Structure 1
C-alpha cells in the first residue's frame, strides 16, 4: 500500500495504491471534481473508499486492483473517472489454477498460553456454557423457555458457568432424510453437542420430525450421561411437561458444569473463525490483512484459523490454491467453487449477487474485488485443509470451510467445526455476536470505530492513517485472542449478542 508521492505528512493522504500494475487507486476521503490524483484530475465527485481511474481503460478492458482483475469496463474509462458499478462490469473468472507454488511456512514459535477449560476428551474450551439444542423448529419454544428459566440470581451460585443457552432453528423437518441438507444439519447438531465450550448439553426434539435425535446418536456414537441428555415433546406428553422436565435436567447439570476451572493451555488449542461482514473498501486494506497477520501468528504457535464464505473467495481462489499444501487440498477448494457456480446457475442467480448494497456504498463494486480483500483474512501460511460445512476441523494451521457468505449461517458452521473463538471484521458496522464462541469485532476505519465504540474491539483504521502498521495491528488482534480466550468479554459478548445468531445453512428443497 502506498500513497501518492505528492502527499506529505502535512497533507492528509488522498488515496492509496495497492499494486504498481493497478489501473485504479482508492480515495481515502471524499474528493471534489478537479482534484489531482497521481497526475490525473478527478472528473466527478469521488466518495471516500471509492475508486479513481489512473489510466485510460478501453471498452471491455481490464480494471485492476490488488494486482488482479476486479472487472471490465462497460465503456471507455478516462483517467480521473469514478470507477464503480456504473462502468465496471462483472464477468466470470477463468483461472488456470496453480497448486502449491506459493508455500510460505512460518517459523514455529512457542511460549504463549491462555486460560482455558480442558475437557476430558483433550479439547479445550474458551467458555463454559450449558446448551439446549433443538432438532427441529417445533421444539424451539420449549428450548427457549428452558434456557430462560435460569436467570442471574440462580446462576450466581455457579460462577464457573457462563450461562444456559438455547440453540434453536427453523428447519429439521420438511426436508429429505439424506443428502447435503440433512447431512449438514446433523453435522451442526453434532458439532454443538460436542463443542468444547459446552460443559453440558440437553437436546430437545418433537418426536416425529425428519431430523431424528436417535439417528444423530447412532451416527456419531453419542451416549447419554450426566452432562448429555435428550428428550422429545411427544414422548414426555406435551410442551409444559417438557419444559418442566428440561429445567430439572439442566438444574442437575449446573453443579457438574461448575466444577470446571480454567487452567493454562497452549495456543495450539485455539481455533479461530475468520469472518467479515458489512465490508467496505477498507476491509481488504486494513482489517483483513491485520487479521491475516494475527492468523499467521496463531498458526506459528500450532493454532488453527478457519476461513469460510465460499462465495466471498470467488475470484481469489487461485491465490489460495497456490498456497495448498498438496494437490488434493487444492482440488477440494476448486471443487467447492465449481459447486457454487452450479448452485447459483440452478437457482438463476449470479456469483456477483454478493456484494450487498451496503458493500457497494462502501466502495466495493464486484464480487471479484470483495473476494480479493476477504481472502486476506487467511494470512500467508499454507492451506492445510478444506472442509465441508460444519465438518469437524482436524488439521492444525490455516484451513477453509465451505459456507454461504451469510454471516450467521457461516459462523454457525465454523463453530460446529470446532472454532472456540470468532474474529469478525466490518467496515459498515455489523452488529454480530455469537455463542458459545465469543466474537471479537475489528473496525476497518476510524470513523466507524468512533461511531460504534461500544461494539468494536479493535480499530484497524489506524493503519490507514499511518499510526500503526498491518503487523502491529495484527499482533494487537492476536494478543486480544489470548485475553478473550482466557475469559475477558468482547464487546459483542458483553451486550449479550449470540442468542439469535445460530442459523444452520438450509440446503435443498423445503418439502
Structure 2
C-alpha cells in the first residue's frame, strides 16, 4: 500500500478509486495520497471507512485492494463518503484460473520447537484439559453439574491440568439418523474427544437420543485412558443418564470416575516439539474496515512463517471467502483442489437461497459501523489471514486436518461454530483478529486476540493480546506478522492468553447444525 506519512488516508492499491481512513477525518480536509495525488473530503469520515478519491459514475465498480468490492448506486464525487447508502454488492464475474499462480514453496526452516505435550498417539498438545462430552442437549445440565463438582476438587495437587470443561450444545437429536447432520455432529464430538489438548474425557448421553454415544464411539474410533481401578478394562467410555438412574446418580458416579483419572491426566510434562506440529486455526470476528489492512495481512505473514516451518494454517469461514475465492483458486496446487473450494461456495449459495437469504447479509451491523460495506469487501480482507502460500487442501467441517501447509476448512462465518470446526479438525492454537472487540475464548485451545486498530486495543486491553493497529501508524505488516508468529509459539508453549486469564471459553463450543430440525 502507498502511504504519505501523517496523512489520515491510505490508498491500498494503485488501481483503487477509494482510500480508507486510518483515523477520523473532518469535512473539507485536504489529504495527501502520494506526492502527486490528494483528495479533499466533502464530509467527515470515520476510522476504517472509505472515501472516493476520484469521481465514480453510477454503476461503475468500486475498487479496494485492487479488486471490485461492489458498484456505485449513484454518482459519487471525489471526497464523498462511500458506504451502504451509495454502494451495493452487485454481481461479480470472476475468473477462477485454477492453479495458474501457485507460489513456489518457501525454503524450509528447521530446528524451531515449542514446549508442548507429546501424547501417546504421537500428537502434540498445547493444553491439558479433562472433558465431559455431552452427546445431546438433554445431558448438558448433568455435564455442567459434573464439571462444577470437579471444580470444587482442589486442582492445586494437579498443576499440569488446565481445567475441567463440559462440552455442551443444543443439538444431538431431532435429526436424520445416519444422515449428514448426524455424521457432522459425530465428527465434531469425536474431534474434540481425540484432540491432543484433552487428557481424558467421558461421553455422557441421556440414552434415547438420535446421537447415541455408542454410535459416536464406534464411528469415531474413540479410546480412553485405563481406569486405574480397573486395569483390565478401559472403563466406561460412554455413560447414559437413563441407565444410571437420573441426574443426581449420574453426577455422583461420573464425578467419582473422573476424580480417579486426575492423577493420570496430571502425569504429563512439556517437552520440545517441532513447530511443524502446530496447527493454527485463523478467525476474524467483529471485523472493521481496517481488518484487511492490518491484523489479517499480519496474521497472513505469521501463517506463511508457520508453513515455512512445516506447520499447518487453516482458513475457515467460507461465506467470508465469497467474492475473493478467485484469488485462492489460482494458488491451489491442483485444479481439483481449487474446484473443491468452488463446490463449497456454490453449496453455500444454494443453501442460503433455500431460506431466502443472500450471503451479502454478512457483514453484520457492527462490521458496517466499523467501515465494511459488502461481503466482497469483507471477504477480500478476511482471506488475507491465509497469507500467500499455496492452497494444499479443502476440508469439510470438523474433518481431520492431515495436510501440512495452508488449507481451507468449510465453516460458517459465525465465530463459535467456525472455530469449533477447526478445533475438531485438530487446530491446537487459534489466532483471532478483531476490529470491534470480540471477547472470544475456545477451551480447550488457546485463542490469541489481535486488534486491528489501536484505540480499540487500549479500550479493551484486558482482552487483546497484540495490537496490529500500529501498522496504520507506520509499523510494517512484516514486523507485526513476525510478532504474531513468536506469540503463537509462546502461547503454544504455555503462555496464557488474555481470554484464558479470564476463564473465557466454556460457552463457545458450538457444533454447526445444517438442519433440518425434525
Specify if TM > 0.5. yes
Alignment partner for residue 27 of structure 2, among 14, 25, 33? 33
Q: Does residue 365 in structure 1 map to residue 373 in structure 2? A: yes
Q: State the number of aligned residues.
A: 504
Measure the CA separation in 2 of the matches of 1:108 and 1:315: 32
Question: Given that residues 180 and 508 in structure 1 are in contact (C-alpha distance below 8 angstroms), is that contact kept between their aligned partners in structure 2?
Answer: no
Q: What's the C-alpha RMSD, in Å, of the aligned pairs?
A: 1.2
Residue 358 (structure 1) shift: 0.5
The residue that corresponds to 1:109 in the other structure is 109
> How do 1:102-501 and structure 2 match up within 5 A?
102-104=101-103, 105-151=105-151, 154-226=154-226, 229-466=237-474, 468-501=475-508
Secondary structure of the equivalent of 1:150?
helix
Measure the CA separation in 2 of the matches of 1:14 and 1:372: 22
Question: Given that residues 57 and 72 in structure 2 are in contact (C-alpha distance below 8 angstroms), is that contact kept between their aligned partners in structure 1?
Answer: yes
Residue 153 (structure 1) shift: 5.3
Secondary structure of the equivalent of 1:348?
coil
The residue that corresponds to 2:232 in the other structure is none
Measure the CA separation in 1 of the matches of 2:296 and 2:152: 37
Residue 96 (structure 1) shift: 1.9
- The alpha-carbon distance between structure 1 residues 224 and 453, as it changes in their structure 2 partners (threshold 3 A), is closer
Residue 506 (structure 1) shift: 1.2
Measure the CA separation in 2 of the matches of 1:417 and 1:92: 33
- The alpha-carbon distance between structure 1 residues 428 and 153, as it changes in their structure 2 partners (threshold 3 A), is same
Deviates more, 1:125-134 or 1:171-180: 171-180
Question: Given that residues 131 and 201 in structure 1 are in contact (C-alpha distance below 8 angstroms), is that contact kept between their aligned partners in structure 2?
Answer: yes
Question: Given that residues 306 and 414 in structure 1 are in contact (C-alpha distance below 8 angstroms), is that contact kept between their aligned partners in structure 2?
Answer: yes
- The alpha-carbon distance between structure 1 residues 132 and 112, as it changes in their structure 2 partners (threshold 3 A), is same
Q: Does residue 14 in structure 1 map to residue 14 in structure 2? A: no
Question: Given that residues 186 and 220 in structure 2 are in contact (C-alpha distance below 8 angstroms), is that contact kept between their aligned partners in structure 1?
Answer: no
Residue 180 (structure 1) shift: 2.6
The residue that corresponds to 1:70 in the other structure is 69
Structure 2 unmatched runs, 5+: 32-36, 228-234
- The alpha-carbon distance between structure 1 residues 152 and 455, as it changes in their structure 2 partners (threshold 3 A), is farther
The residue that corresponds to 1:100 in the other structure is 99
Measure the CA separation in 2 of the matches of 1:230 and 1:74: 58
Measure the CA separation in 2 of the matches of 1:47 and 1:223: 54
Secondary structure of the equivalent of 1:116?
strand
Measure the CA separation in 2 of the matches of 1:224 and 1:278: 38
Question: Given that residues 201 and 224 in structure 2 are in contact (C-alpha distance below 8 angstroms), is that contact kept between their aligned partners in structure 1?
Answer: no
Residue 46 (structure 1) shift: 1.3
Residue 152 (structure 1) shift: 6.2
Measure the CA separation in 2 of the matches of 1:92 and 1:168: 40
Deviates more, 1:90-99 or 1:79-88: 90-99
Structure 1 unmatched runs, 5+: none
Question: Given that residues 53 and 79 in structure 2 are in contact (C-alpha distance below 8 angstroms), is that contact kept between their aligned partners in structure 1?
Answer: yes
Question: Given that residues 409 and 505 in structure 1 are in contact (C-alpha distance below 8 angstroms), is that contact kept between their aligned partners in structure 2?
Answer: yes
Deviates more, 1:103-112 or 1:166-175: 103-112
Secondary structure of the equivalent of 2:203?
strand
Secondary structure of the equivalent of 1:40?
strand
Secondary structure of the equivalent of 2:150?
coil
Measure the CA separation in 1 of the matches of 2:276 and 2:422: 17
Residue 13 (structure 1) shift: 2.1
Measure the CA separation in 1 of the matches of 2:327 and 2:247: 52
Question: Given that residues 102 and 333 in structure 2 are in contact (C-alpha distance below 8 angstroms), is that contact kept between their aligned partners in structure 1?
Answer: yes
Secondary structure of the equivalent of 1:503?
coil
Residue 447 (structure 1) shift: 0.5
